[in-house]
Structure 1
Amino acid sequence: MRAAARPDLTTIRDRVARLAEHRGQDPADVLSVERLGHLSGVEPELIPRVLAGEAPEVPLTRRVHRRFLRLRETRRDKHGREWSLAAIAEDFRAPGASLGPLNAGTGLPGLGHAAGIQRFFGVFAGFLLADNKSAVERALATAPAGAGAPDDLEHLSFITGITPEAIRLTLDGRPARQPLRQQVRERFEHLRRTRPREDGRPYSLTAIASSFDASGQSLTRLARGEGLPSLAAAAGIQRFYGVESGFLLADDTEALAAALAGIGRELESAAHEAENPMLAVLRAHDVRSIVTRAGRLSPAGWKSLADHLDDLLAREGRLDARPPEDPGRARGPVRGPGDRPAEERAP
């Protein structure tokens, strides 16, 4: 079995604390358990034990259940209310009742439902499930200096599982939309091809499946492109190859390491922006472009756009000042026809 190295949380945390001090910020605030819990999905009260390596491993069903509950608790609508199961599921064309077992902790959602939940709340979906745009953005944001630059398509292809041509289209603002089944199969094939055994041959389906106590036959349909794996199989595949598992599937150590690394990149980015005044000019240009296009909207269009942005910010936990509640306003997110192609509908 190929075992991925476990991240050294103490080293990562100490590095982020030093960055915070260098930026004149209090490490205790930057690394508060409340903030780490929001970013990682790990309960704040468990974070000290996870950092110390003393927390027991949590079964997948319980882990996904509690992460889902934290998403609903910490990423509410703009009125401060939890999103209903119906509103979440409707976003990916599914009935609210289909999320009942997940909400109650009695069962796991399908892979399509997991992708939809993570997309709805704006959290990273992991190697197998992230769409092309978010996968490329994640790769560019997490790559070390000098690696994963926009012109290094082969490197970006390796870490995203997306072909260089598809990456080029994504960088040009034209990301291809694939049916989830095709995307997961291609990413799985990419993992087997680009992360082989020591002798250069791909790991067998049996070797991969045995790492999460399953049979190789359980991955046969995925390898043939005939169906999606279970959520447990997807988690096992990503863990076997050491790639990011996403918000719902990552174990506590991986989730906390990702949160710490994200804070570190945020601190470093702030330092770089302070040194480069051109970035402020570029950001201002982007804002002017958006405002110019929005200026063509009708008053009703302006309100729809504002409501949609409020919903997006609230779902990502970034809406600090909520406007007064409008009883006549629908609670669900605003979407136009065709926002979700039929191929992306959850099974």
Structure 2
Amino acid sequence: MSAVLDLARVSVALPLGGFLSRARLPILMDVSLSVGRGESVALVGESGSGKTTLARAVMGLQAVSGGSIALDGQAVEGAAGHARLRRAAAMMFQDATASLSPRLTVGYLVTEPFRIHGVALPDPEGMARELLAKVGLPPAMARRYPHELSGGQARRVGVARALALKPRLVIADEPTAGLDVSVQAEVLNLMADLRAEMGLAYLIITHNLALVRHVADRVVVLYLGRVVEKGPTAQVFAAPAHPYTASLIAAEPRPDPRQRRMDLAIRGEVPSVLRRPSGCEFHTRCPMAREVCRVTAPDLAPVGAGRQARCHFADQRKDQQGEQHAVEHR
């Protein structure tokens, strides 16, 4: 599958002590991932793991300090490169209502990308109605203002605006945040229908593992700005190779609380990026840490076809989790 988006060892470091300071604080470190044509990739991890920072870096809203970004095999460099990327990619922001200017009508907002990119529209009102119809909103919605929308309607307007220039890639930051369960299902079904109709590729940022199971072909797990595991969603959920991934899955809410694996529960708080632990950065919270984990940082290594994990004992964990998964589903 050819890649629409390809990140190679992307790093982001922010000034420490003010914008004039030379000291830098690493937020993202050597992140590599790809999104194929028509593919849905989920980026998961706790708050503070760097998910939104990565999305902002892809869109050129945050400067990268290392690595490379490529769109359709061509490097994204400088203002011209990011202008090309923003024409081919669109972003759905986490707070859909806050991303809409309260002074502009919905019709103006959904056609705003055309104005930004200098695309003349012979019939802006007709285009607004067409975009709203694509996401299941009535034409009358074009005359409303953002404060008159429900959360689900604001989310659909955000989708319509993202689709205006017919992008090949959509970056969706928590696309179901703050929505009722029924509305979440509507938004996810809409995204799935648009993916099938338009051949869209998605990079979905989320905490919601149920959403990941439902919509993602592959999953990438971030911890303290590093990729700790990635691979096909079904395989990762069936047999997680990294203890952090296993802990996230074990903490997922289930109807029967007796099925939760409390032995895999994550202990403590996420360490500060100002004081990164030595060795494996997860060892301070890992229920299975050994001495080598405290001393030596593991590499992101293959653990099967299309899968990688950053753990000294990834192969052993994958086998153990696979056996446990089989027992639980007998």
TM-score (norm 2): 0.31
Q: Quick check: which one's helix share is greater?
A: 1
Structure with the greater relative contact order (CA < 8 A, sep ≥ 6): 1 or 2? 1
TM-score (norm 1): 0.30
Q: Quick check: which one's strand share is greater?
A: 2
